[in-house]
Structure 1
Amino acid sequence: MKKVSLWVAGVAITASACAQNPTAVKYGNLITPADAKKHLSILASDEFEGRETGKPGAEKAANYIATEFKRLGLQAPVKGSYFLDVPLTENTVDVSPLTINGQSFANWKDFVFQGSADVKVNGTEVVFVGFGTPDELAGLDLAGKVVLWINEDKPEAGKTANTSYRMSEGRRAIVKAIQEKKPALILAANEGVAAALARFNGVNPSGGGQLSLKKAEDAAAAKNTAAPLFIVTAPVADAALKASGKTFAELKTAAATAKQSQVVKTTAAVTISATKKDVKAVDVLGFLPGSDPKLKDEVLVFSAHYDHIGLNTKPGATDKVYNGADDDGSGTTGILEIARAFTQAKKDGKGPRRSVLFLGNVGEEKGLLGSEYYTDHPVFPLANTIADLNIDMIGRVGEEYVGKPDSANYVYSIGSNMLSSDLHKIGEEANNTYTKMKLDYKYDDPNDPNRFYYRSDHYNFARFNVPIIFYFNGVHADYHGLGDEVSKINFPLLAKRAQLAFYTGWELANRDARPVVDKADAPKGTR
């Protein structure tokens, strides 16, 4: 009898814990495919010109979001404005062809430039440093030299090596160690970068300008003398190693098990120059005050970036606009829908106990700039910010789910367990109670080669130990492509994913205790 009684009690407790809150359901149901389509059809229209940061299209999008915030009755929290100025500098960099032994290679076709500007390199030898381990770098004179480095994690027994061109934290430390030896140029070779560059056909999607936060850019300019870094394809590496008699692939294989550092007689030349100008950009903020006097100073943030990559400048192009319907028109639309649900609850006297900030970030595509500026200059103290629920791409079926039975009922959940076990449980319970989607945690790993945890605006909250959840549908064939159009959006799926974020936020905004931060030693890094 005792075992049976405990089982019955357990079932009762479970049922109670998973019971839907009728009030939450009422307002969650205001998030609809039809209303989402209305917003996204405007935000991702050709009229908004791809919403590139610093361009007229982004300004139009910011004004649209602010108008919607005002219509919904959200407060303007930036000294009576919905706009938080984000001071940016545009660095327009001109990179000449990289010439190696007389063979010419082009930026955005054969390599991608990163680093300082106004540099002229004329080298007569290339130093191959393998994977750049301390043993491989020991004793090498790199001052004024061109360095060729394998931009992959060195293979280790029993461990799957990260071979993505996106650098791990360990590789960033290696770059720093190489730069401390004062080389003239670093060629970071990776065979996989060619596929990424093929999408751009030699044209910089940002039009040649690189944006940075003004203060950070000014500080970097004052002290940065580090060698520029080129992430290069295998053919560039092969050209640099030609006199060695070995290909890049051969030396990479050999370097996995034995030191291969060597000096190769090679001519290498490139010229880099830059001009700078200030750029106008804004984050868009809408604020809903909490109803509980004891909790209203605590703030839950819903964030999404409204910028995309702008206009198509390829010669002869017929499609002129990167509309960015999924990336991240879908997330911005989700924020507007969630704001509608919360504000209607407030009007009906059912508003959240804690305050809620709806944050439209600018400059995500340029390096998480808007969210970095907000978290460095928060309008509401980060100490009072209980969580950030970030939505970036929720309108499509990612490439890994195409044709699968659950393709229309899943979402990738990233970061929920990185800082707070509470937040992870809350997210799970909200899904189990209301939306019943498949929560895919495949990318919920700071060591994931795609580095998604570091690649959207939630990360700038996480670096200050604010718990986060990042909702994401995964990449697809139209990611950062001209095919990311409204016509390809699955609006019922967008609405359901936004409802999941809403229900999770509803619990966070109304529960007695904020989610505990019990994993504050989570990995930190950069995009």
Structure 2
Amino acid sequence: MNKKILSLGLASILSAGCFAQIKPLVANKDAIRFSKAINPIDGRKHLSILASDEYEGRETGTKGAWMAADYIRNYFKSIGLKGPVNGDYFQKIDLANYSVSESMFTINGQPKQAYKDFVILSNSVGLNGFTFSANDVVFVGYGLTKDGYNDFDGINVEGKVVMMFAAGDPTAKAGDKTDRRQAMMARAKKMSYLAQGKAKAVILIDPTLDNITEARKASYTAGSNVMKTAENIERMKKQNPFTSISISTATANEILKTANTSVDAVQKKIAETMKPASQTLSVAISASAMKKETPVRCENVLGFLEGTDPVLKKEVLVLTGHYDHIGITPDVEGPDKINNGADDDGSGTTGVLLMAKAFSDAKKAGKGPKRSILFMTVVGEEKGLWGSEWYSEHPVFPVENTIADLNTDMIGRVGEEYLGKPDSANYIYSVGSKMLSSDLATLQDRVNATYTKMKLDFKYDDPNDTERIYYRSDHYNFAKLGIPIIFYYDGMLQQDYHRPGDEVSKINFELLAKRAHLTYYIGWELANQAKRPVVDMDGKGNPKK
């Protein structure tokens, strides 16, 4: 057994119950006194609002996320936290939406109707748009290159407009199923082949466009949001996406009739002969599209509690949770289309609000933390850790003064591995505490042994973790800067994950509060102890050389 994995397992056992082997702290009466603000009743009040249908799943850049941001800001303000961004509570993120503002597609000079006959998506249009025309189209069936079957046999695609079916494989065995991920990978492979072959453009025959609903049309016209970091801006400038146009079956038939055939006819021919039906079609095609940039409201919400020690208050502890979720999925089965995100991550956001109240109460009573604390709920985690990435590149407080980040992302439910087990109401996955600081790892064990006595499960510290949990939440953007972190997570990867079933009614508020208590007590110690946690590990849990 790998020695590192064995040590993690032993630590988990110790945390589960053998607290006598861990030197506990002296329980701080003030910490216990003010921890009462972290309770299931107030937790339910916050989460019932944040994860309500009214907030529409809090998708980044939408009304629901703005409502959540306003709620959090107003709450921070009401309990006396300060706005640290030039007096504001919002750290604005430079987010822009890129959509197709104008698109045109003609067959033999006859214009076709966008979002009925054809669709051009924004990700196939460069910043400067595109325009092209051609007097013939190369039809290549399914665009497959496999052993014994090659739709491109004898065809040079350079400079050509190529037409093919968006999906399908006539050589597949009966009963074989292709999931969405496999289909996307297959399409990407075809597009890469055409791009490398220097084709001018590709026309994809897509039957899903035959009856476009209003909801589907809205998803096509919505475009895509891009966070305008220096890296992304440079990438967009260099990016020259391969031009693709999706067309309906009827539109494809209009093109194919120039060769006296149709979609059904060529599909039947290929299926019966198991040979390609590739051919050049004499038909005039033209197309163009322009890309439009529109600013999108997007912000992290920050509340600041200044420390009481004249020297230590320059150092900052950060407590994070992401308030965004994935919004509404109109095509999901069933009447409920709203992904409420009660656990992911309404629960962690609620934990941050409860902890903010506890520390604020302590300061009002003259027992405030020596170091400063930044309570930060970030946006865009579901899009790729956007909010924390933005903060890491535009820190409000100097990175060198940031002593640690404690991140709560999904702390309200019981994950699959603990369902029905004795520890189901008394565990939490602790992720990353050992990666950068042995001090922080030791402090966690001692705090837990003193106050909460939870089972700490270190499963996801395993470097061979196939889920790569350590890299999948906002703490990671702090860890990349060399800031010690702990990420608390309940392990719910199957039940209702990113589905409308992630509802407030399924939250265990007693457990949510207990997990927030653990985070709070560690925060209390970090904010008040004499020295900040030393960074003596290499970011992977190995001692620095």
Task: Provide TM-score, normalisation by structure 1.
Answer: 0.69
Task: State which drifts further: 34-43 or 320-329.
Answer: 320-329
Letter of the 1:224 partner, please give it. Q
Deviation at 1:277, TM superposition (A): 2.4
Deviation at 1:294, TM superposition (A): 1.6
1:459 to 459, 472, 476: 476
Verify: 1:297 aligned to 2:314, yes or no.
yes
Task: Provide TM-score, normalisation by structure 2.
Answer: 0.67
1:304-331 Cα offsets, whole Å, 9 max, x none, are 1111111232288522421111111101
1:215 to 229, 247, 251: 229
- Gap runs ≥5 in structure 2: 1-19, 102-120, 147-156, 163-180, 183-191, 201-214, 245-269, 271-275, 280-287
2:40 corresponds to which residue?
33
Task: Decide whether the 8 Å contact of 1:414 with 1:471 is kept in 2.
Answer: yes
**Residue 83 of structure 2: SS of its match in structure 1?**
coil
Task: Decide whether the 8 Å contact of 1:302 with 1:335 is kept in 2.
Answer: yes
Based on CA coordinates, which of the two structures has the bigger radius of gyration?
Answer: 2
Verify: 1:490 aligned to 2:505, yes or no.
no
1:41-98 Cα offsets, whole Å, 9 max, x none, are 111111111111111111111111011101111011111111111111223489xxxx
Question: What pairs up with 1:65-144 in 2 under 5 angstroms?
Answer: 65-92=72-99, 117=125
Cα separation, partners in 2 of 1:399 and 1:181, compared to 1, 3 Å? same
1:449 corresponds to which residue?
466
Verify: 1:481 aligned to 2:504, yes or no.
no
Cα separation, partners in 2 of 1:206 and 1:288, compared to 1, 3 Å? farther
Verify: 1:407 aligned to 2:424, yes or no.
yes
Cα separation, partners in 2 of 1:315 and 1:28, compared to 1, 3 Å? closer
Cα separation, partners in 2 of 1:521 and 1:427, compared to 1, 3 Å? closer
Of all paired residues, the percent bearing the same amino acid is 53
Cα separation, partners in 2 of 1:89 and 1:417, compared to 1, 3 Å? same
Question: What pairs up with 1:361-510 in 2 under 5 angstroms?
Answer: 361-474=378-491, 475-510=493-528
Question: What pairs up with 1:335-354 in 2 under 5 angstroms?
Answer: 335-354=352-371
Verify: 1:46 aligned to 2:53, yes or no.
yes
1:24 corresponds to which residue?
31
1:262-314 Cα offsets, whole Å, 9 max, x none, are xx9999xxx99965422111110000001111211000000011111112322
Task: Decide whether the 8 Å contact of 2:23 with 2:446 is kept in 1.
Answer: no
Q: Distance in 2 between matches of 1:384 and 1:122?
A: 61
1:409-450 Cα offsets, whole Å, 9 max, x none, are 111111111111111111122112111111111112454221
Letter of the 1:421 partner, please give it. S
Cα separation, partners in 2 of 1:49 and 1:313, compared to 1, 3 Å? same
2:283 corresponds to which residue?
none
**Residue 423 of structure 2: SS of its match in structure 1?**
coil
Task: Decide whether the 8 Å contact of 1:308 with 1:323 is kept in 2.
Answer: yes
Letter of the 2:517 partner, please give it. Q
1:516 corresponds to which residue?
534
Task: Decide whether the 8 Å contact of 2:403 with 2:532 is kept in 1.
Answer: yes
Superposition RMSD in Å: 4.5
Q: Distance in 1 between matches of 2:342 and 2:220?
A: 18
Q: Distance in 2 between matches of 1:448 and 1:265?
A: 46
- Gap runs ≥5 in structure 1: 1-12, 95-112, 130-141, 147-164, 167-176, 186-200, 230-242, 244-263
Task: Decide whether the 8 Å contact of 1:126 with 1:265 is kept in 2.
Answer: no
Task: Decide whether the 8 Å contact of 2:99 with 2:122 is kept in 1.
Answer: no
Question: What pairs up with 1:148-297 in 2 under 5 angstroms?
Answer: 209-216=223-230, 217-225=232-240, 276-297=293-314
1:8 corresponds to which residue?
none
Cα separation, partners in 2 of 1:205 and 1:288, compared to 1, 3 Å? farther
Deviation at 1:516, TM superposition (A): 1.0
Deviation at 1:386, TM superposition (A): 0.5
Cα separation, partners in 2 of 1:463 and 1:16, compared to 1, 3 Å? closer
Q: Distance in 1 between matches of 2:138 and 2:88?
A: 52
**Residue 73 of structure 2: SS of its match in structure 1?**
helix
Q: Distance in 2 between matches of 1:454 and 1:93?
A: 33
Cα separation, partners in 2 of 1:395 and 1:15, compared to 1, 3 Å? closer
1:191 corresponds to which residue?
none
Letter of the 2:348 partner, please give it. G
Letter of the 2:501 partner, please give it. G
Cα separation, partners in 2 of 1:66 and 1:179, compared to 1, 3 Å? farther
